[in-house]
């Protein structure tokens, strides 16, 4: 039986991944690691919660020992836009946090470590359409630099120490449970909230900006499927491209308008435009499909219907 520690359990992916893993492995076997002292009721009522900061090795080790952890998922990171405002913080959290996790995992003979990566590993010289699995990795953001180094470190620990490290290059993740913070792809979440609340949205990238995106149910499926994949079938470890859908900001707005015809969007690109422009339009995820059977379920309109329904309900209840 796995005993999993999710670091970054209060974040956009961590909050839902922790609950999904608790459904599979049992609440007591999935420990929510949070930096906030007050985690959500959903996290505290479904299993153990601990204050864990990957930069604090002693606290990390004591949590690992307390629960006999044999799998760590490190979802704590500073995303691209915040990383450009504070590159040293991004380096510290994303690199020092990661090496601490890998070292603790090695020293305590973990069965598995999950280290998320991102489309941010790519840069302006990478082929933009159907970006290959093996390609140019020359990012121009600090976030991207830490993600490339994270992939290399994951593969290094796998090869040198036999530590089972796995990771995905997440596209922009869209969800309605916990809002993202500090990312370049955040507009693809904010548009739904603003469409429900105000029927209008000012988008910080231009209409033609096209990026790979994924709805949270597919994100959870990809993450859990990779964790459960047969190790002997994996040729890659820390750097799987995973695709689901690819759309421009204009196409996203058109999808929202199908359900809220009076919705209005304007475009005021800011410094995040350059980051978005340095990332691919779409990715080739044939390695993930071949090695562990990856296949997404949601397309843009299916996601839009779901997002508007759930956020609409939250709005009616006065929760947003
Ligand atoms: N969603 C992330 C960001 O925009 C990309 O991994 O920074």
| Ligand 1 atom 2, closest CA | 183
| Closest to 61 measured CA to CA, from 110, 18, 13, 111 | 110
Report the atom number in ligand 1 closest to the C-alpha of 143: 7
Q: Please report, to the nearest 10 degrees, the dihedral formed by the alpha carbons of residues 200, 204, 208, 214 taken in order.
A: -80
Q: Which of 143, 187, 192, 267 is catalytic?
A: 143
Residue 187 CB contacts under 8 Å (≥ 6 apart), including other chains:
203, 204, 205, 249
- State the pLDDT at residue 185: 97
pTM as predicted:
0.97
Please compute Rg for the chain using Cα positions: 19
- State the pLDDT at residue 117: 98
CA atoms within 13 A on the CB side of 71: 20
Mutate to test the pocket of ligand 1, among 87, 140, 143 (most ligand atoms within 8 A of CB): 143
What is the rounded distance in angstroms from the CA atom of residue 273 to the CA atom of residue 80? 12
Domains of the chain: 4-172+216-241 (3.40.50.720), 173-213+245-281+292-316 (3.90.25.10)
- State the pLDDT at residue 38: 78
pLDDT tens-digit readout, 191-229 = 999 999 999 999 999 999 999 999 999 999 999 999 999
- State the pLDDT at residue 1: 65
User: What is the Å distance from ligand 1's center to 181 Cα?
Assistant: 9
Report the atom number in ligand 1 closest to the C-alpha of 147: 6
| Ligand 1 atom 6, closest CA | 118
* Residue 298 annotated to the active site: no
Flag residues of the chain having pLDDT under 50: none
Ligand 1 pocket list (CB less than 6 A): 79-80, 118-120, 143, 170, 172, 183-185
Mutate to test the pocket of ligand 1, among 82, 118, 212, 244 (most ligand atoms within 8 A of CB): 118
- State the pLDDT at residue 36: 73
pLDDT tens-digit readout, 112-155 = 999 999 999 999 999 999 999 999 999 999 999 999 999 999 99
Residue 261 CB contacts under 8 Å (≥ 6 apart), including other chains:
none
């Amino acid at each position: 039986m796995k005993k999993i520690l999710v670091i970054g359990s209060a974040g956009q992916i961590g909050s839902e991944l922790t609950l999904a893993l608790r459904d599979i492995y049992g609440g007591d076997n999935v420990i929510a690691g949070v930096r906030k002292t007050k985690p959500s009721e959903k996290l505290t009522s479904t299993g153990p919660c601990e204050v864990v900061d990957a930069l604090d090795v002693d606290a990390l080790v004591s949590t690992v020992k307390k629960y006999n952890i044999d799998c760590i998922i490190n979802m704590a990171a500073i995303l691209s836009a915040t990383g450009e405002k504070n590159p040293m913080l991004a380096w510290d959290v994303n690199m020092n946090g990661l090496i601490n996790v890998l070292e603790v995992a090695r020293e305590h003979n973990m069965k598995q470590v999950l280290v998320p990566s991102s489309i941010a590993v790519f840069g302006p010289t990478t082929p933009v359409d159907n970006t290959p699995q093996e390609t140019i990795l020359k990012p121009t953001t600090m976030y991207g630099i830490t993600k490339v180094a994270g992939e290399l470190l994951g593969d290094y620990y796998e090869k040198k120490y036999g530590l089972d490290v796995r990771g995905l290059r997440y596209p922009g993740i869209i969800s309605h449970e916990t809002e993202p913070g500090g990312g370049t792809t955040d507009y693809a979440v904010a548009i739904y909230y603003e469409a429900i609340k105000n029927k209008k949205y000012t988008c910080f990238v231009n209409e033609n900006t096209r990026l790979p995106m994924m709805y949270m149910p597919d994100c959870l499926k990809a993450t859990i499927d990779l964790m459960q994949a047969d190790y002997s079938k994996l040729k890659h470890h820390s750097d799987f491209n995973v695709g689901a859908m690819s759309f421009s900001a204009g196409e996203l707005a058109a999808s929202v308008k199908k359900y809220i015809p009076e919705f209005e969007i304007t475009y005021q690109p800011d410094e995040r435009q350059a980051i978005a422009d340095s990332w691919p339009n779409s990715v080739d995820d044939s390695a993930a499909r071949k090695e562990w059977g990856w296949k997404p379920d949601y397309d843009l309109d299916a996601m839009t219907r779901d997002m508007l329904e759930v956020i609409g309900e939250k709005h009616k209840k006065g929760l947003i």
